[in-house]
Homo-oligomer: A and B are copies of this chain.
C-alpha cells in the first residue's frame, strides 16, 4: 500500500457568532493507505460528506453537550459515505461501502467502526445515506412519529421546510394524511415545496412582515403540530397559533445556533392555555427505530412516494463555503459535498 496525498479541512479554533470560511483551512498532508496492524481500524476513501447545522455546536469550547467539541488543528469530523480501501478489521473488506462518522478529508482512518453502517447498493443514490437515509432523515422520522404523534387530518407546520430534515417531515406527514404547510427563505424553495415535495401550501417568510398573520392565514383553525427547525421569531409566532393539545418538536433552532443570547421567546404562556407539549429531541435517543425507518423510507422512495432534494457541491475545497452557507439558507435541499467520484 502506497502513501497518498490527502487533502483535509482543518478546524482552526473555537469561535463565537456566525462561522466563517476562515474558521477552517485546507491543508494537504500525506496518509498511508493502510490501517495499522492490530488497530482494528479501517482506511477509507471518502466519497460524500455531509454539511449539517449541528456541527456549529462542535465549534464551541463547551464540553457539556451531547457531543464533544472539535479539536483545533485537527480535521473536521462529520457524516460521510466512504469506500473501504484497507481493513484491519475482519468485519470490513476493501471495496465495501460504509456510512457513518468520518473526516473532512480525502482518506480517513476510522477507529470507531461500531457505529458504521454498511451500504448495499440498490438503486438509491449513495449520497442519500447522509441525507434521506442518514441522520437528517432519521431526525425527521423520529421527531415526527416519536415526539409529535401525528393523526390523520391534523394541521402540520414545518419551518426550514425544504432543508435536509424538513422536506422529509412534510412528505411523511402528507403520507400520514395531514395538512402540511412549510416555510422557507426563498421563492425557489417555496416552489420546490409546493410543486415537487407535495406540501399543501408554502410561504417565503422573508416576504412576510407579520409571522403571526401569515400563520393565521394558512392555519385559520390553528396548528396541531409544529416541527420547529429554526426557533426564534417563527417559534414565537407558532406559539400564538397552536391548537389545544398541540405538539412542538424542537429540532434545529438554526436561527439561534450562532447566538449565545437569543432574542427571547415571549409567548410561552400559550403552552398552558392550549396545553401544548414542546419537546427537544435528538435522533440518537431513538436508534432502536432505525431499522424500521430504513425499511419504511427506502420503501416509500422506491415506490415513488417520496423524493429528496440535494444541494451537491463538488470537491472538498467547496466544503467550508457550503457549510457556512447553511446559516444563511444558501443551500437548496440537503447540503452534500462530493469528494470523489464513485
Contact surface of A with B, Cβ cutoff 8 Å: 57, 65-66, 231, 235, 244-245, 250-253, 256, 261-266, 268-282, 285
Contact = CB atoms under 8 A, between A and B. Distances in A.
Q: Say how many copies of this protein the assembly contains.
A: 2
B278 A279 contact: yes
A122 to B, nearest CB: 33
The residue among A245, A252, A278 with the most chain B CB atoms within 10 A of its own CB is A278
Nearest to A62: B273
Contacts of A57: 273
A231 B266 contact: no
A268 B264 CA distance: 9
A269 B263 CA distance: 12
A271 to B, nearest CB: 3
A288 B66 CA distance: 38
A280 B285 contact: no
A269 B66 contact: no
Given A264-B264, A268-B253, A268-B265, A273 B65 contact: yes
A256 B282 CA distance: 30
B65 A269 contact: no
A269 B256 contact: yes
B264 A263 contact: yes
Contacts of A269: 231, 253, 256, 262
B231 A273 contact: no
B271 A250 contact: yes
A231 B239 CA distance: 15
A245 B277 CA distance: 14
A278 B271 contact: yes
14 contacts: A57-B273, A65-B273, A250-B272, A252-B272, A261-B266, A264-B266, A265-B266, A274-B280, A275-B282, A277-B277, A277-B278, A277-B279, A277-B280, A279-B279
A316 to B, nearest CB: 29
B266 A275 contact: no
Nearest to A147: B277
Contact of A282 (B231, B266, B272): B272
B231 A251 contact: no
A66 B271 CA distance: 12
Contacts of A245: 285
Nearest to A274: B280
**Ranked 7 nearest A-B pairs via Cβ:** A264-B264, A271-B280, A272-B280, A277-B279, A278-B278, A265-B265, A250-B271
Contacts of A244: 66
A206 B262 CA distance: 25
Nearest to A222: B64
Contacts of A65: 273
Contacts of A281: 272, 275
Given A275-B281, A278-B279, A268 B66 contact: no
B280 A276 contact: yes
A112 B145 CA distance: 41
